[in-house]
Amino acid sequence: MSTPAPGSDATATYLLGLADDALVTAQRLGWWVSRAPELEEDVALANIGLDQLGQARGLYTVVCDLEGAGRTEDDLAYLRDASDFRNVLLVERPQEDFAVCVVRMLLLAAWQSEVYAALASREGPARGVAAKAVKEVAYHLDHAAQWVLRLGDGTALSHERAQAALDAEWPFLAELLEPDPAAVAAGHPDPPSLREAVLARIVPVLTAATLVVPEQSTGQPTGQPTGGRRGHHTEHLTDLLAEMQQVARAHPGATW
């Protein structure tokens, strides 16, 4: 194991958050397999989930190298408790409504597009992972946007449910754009600086979909759900991990 370079702690912390976002998203998307409106959408959501899983694996590997403590990607995915996860709250809640699934994907992919683009544009241990992820999330963003347009500007019922999904998910966007000391310490853009670019990817889609954009709070949001990056999670993450980790924990050291 190499000696960690200066600043590698902050980089590991920052990348761990991004990796956890992707892993939890992959697990939530897996729920849709066999449940999507059509077989074709099953395949699309599974593909997107697998993209996210691949991003998580790549980032975990980088984090393990930076730590130099001998942990593996499996240790990080399967042997940590909810309080050790650093994902944002947006991704951990159940998404058993198709409109919620695609609205959340729109918000997350818009943000990931900016984050991965920044990571890919400079030297760093995650540059390779991010360069591949940029193309993947561009497709996730497109897929989500296509569905938001069709649901929002579809029938009265689909519009109503898309608006309800947007109203439910929107408050969780604030956490993605909060100041992140780990990002800054690691030399990455502070999330608030990405705000305009992220909203520029989201708002035109919502407007074209005839959806009402919920009020955008300015400055430090108050009363918005937050805390995921510090390990403060909802009970939903505990439930998700119980299911995702049970096989690995029941058979310690098993390989597959």
Partner 1 sequence: MSAEWPLWEVFVRARRGMSHVHVGSLHAPDAEMALRNARDVYTRRQEGVSLWVVPSSAVVASTPDLQGSFFEPAADKDYRHPTHYTVPEGVEHL
Interface contacts to partner 1, rule CB under 8 A: 37-41, 43-44, 47, 142-143, 146, 150
- CA geometry: angle at 28 spanning 26 and 34, to 5°? 100
Contacts of 36 (CB under 8 A, 6+ apart): 42, 44, 45, 98
Nearer to partner 1, 142 or 167 (CB): 142
Q: Cα(first)–Cα(last) distance of the chain, in Å?
A: 24
80: left (phi over 0), alpha (psi -120 to 50) or beta: beta
CB atoms within 10 A of CB 82: 19
- Residue 44: alpha-carbon gap to chain centroid: 17
Minimal distance in Å, beta carbon 137 to partner 1? 15
Minimal distance in Å, beta carbon 42 to partner 1? 10
Minimal distance in Å, beta carbon 24 to partner 1? 22
Minimal distance in Å, beta carbon 37 to partner 1? 5
